[in-house]
Amino acid sequence: NAGVMQNPRHLVRRRGQEARLRCSPVKGHSHVYWYRQLPEEGLKFMVYLQKENIIDESGMPKERFSAEFPKEGPSILRIQQVVRGDSAAYFCASSPPGAAAQYFGPGTRLTVT
Amino acid sequence: KQEVTQIPAALSVPEGENLVLNCSFTDSAIYNLQWFRQDPGKGLTSLLLIQSSQREQTSGRLNASLDKSSGRSTLYIAASQPGDSATYLCAVLETSGSRLTFGEGTQLTVNP
């Protein structure tokens, strides 16, 4: 009975490269959320997706960041042309429909050198 | 805009002590409130979820209460153990959307 899976767990990128973070939700969960935890800061909402739809992306930076949750396969958070300020822990959560509990994955720790 | 505040920011107690962590939120229009535990370098573990219509939830040595009208929640930990040492996060789910808004957390250290 697997929980939310995220990979990679650690990712190192040089400035200007692309980072792709993957999230597989709990089986049967159709809602996926991405949050970011910057060093010494709290978790901040980024984006909420359902299968093939972005429902709320109000927490996403306007440039370089994108997210998708295709019909098949994991949700992807993509960061283009990474900068040092993107270094953070990125957490994915999933939930079934309705105002239910969100279950979090272990996170991907991105380091930009 | 919803804001969540947790007090204290850090707490150090001897083993066996009962303790209370506090969480307050500015907008009472919430669906639910969740308490999480985060160990250093790790993900979040959901501890308790209280629906907006509920007053409290209990799980083992943990008890969480919710007073929606005053915008407050408390997490009570009974007979604390060194293994309880972690950061405890409070988060609210608003009725206006599906995002969780988190507090900054309380870093708890339980000394043997």
Q: Quick one: pLDDT at residue A41?
A: 83
pLDDT at position B1 is 86
Write down the pLDDT at residue B79.
97
A59-86 per-position pLDDT tens digit: 999 899 999 999 999 999 999 999 999 9
> Shortest CB distance from B100 goes to which of A45, A58, A105?
A45
Distance CA B83, CA A111 (A): 29
- A33 with B99: Cβ contact below 8 A: yes
Give B105's Cβ-side CA count (13 Å radius): 20
Distance from the Cα of A13 to chain B's closest Cα (Å) equals 19
Looking at residues B29-33, what average pLDDT do you find?
91
Residues of A with CB under 8 A from a CB of B: 31, 33, 35, 41-45, 48, 55-56, 58-59, 91, 93, 99, 101-107, 109
Average pLDDT over residues B17-37: 95
Q: Is the pLDDT of residue A106 over 60?
A: yes
Share of chain B above pLDDT 90, in %: 88
Say if residue B95's pLDDT is above 90.
no
Structural contact between residues A45 and B100, judged by C-beta atoms closer than 8 angstroms: yes
Whether B105 has its CB under 8 Å from any CB of chain A: the answer is: yes
Is the per-residue pLDDT at A20 higher than 90?
yes
- For residue A1, the model assigns a pLDDT of 53
| DSSP reduced 3-state for B84 | helix
Q: Are B20 and B33 in contact (CB under 8 A)?
A: no
- Is residue A99 predicted with pLDDT exceeding 90? no
Q: How far apart are CA A100 and CA A61, in angstroms?
A: 26
Judged on CB neighbours under 10 Å (0-12, 13-18, 19+), A85 is: exposed
User: pLDDT averaged over chain B?
Assistant: 94
Determine the residue type at B99.
R
Predicted pLDDT of residue B73: 98
- Supply angle C-alpha B102, A109, B96, rounded to 5: 25
Average pLDDT over residues B11-28: 96
Position B77 confidence tier, pLDDT thresholds 50, 70, 90 = very high
Query: How buried is A62 (Cβ within 10 angstroms: 0-12 exposed, 13-18 middle, 19+ buried)?
Result: exposed
- The residue of chain A with its CA nearest to that of B45 is A104
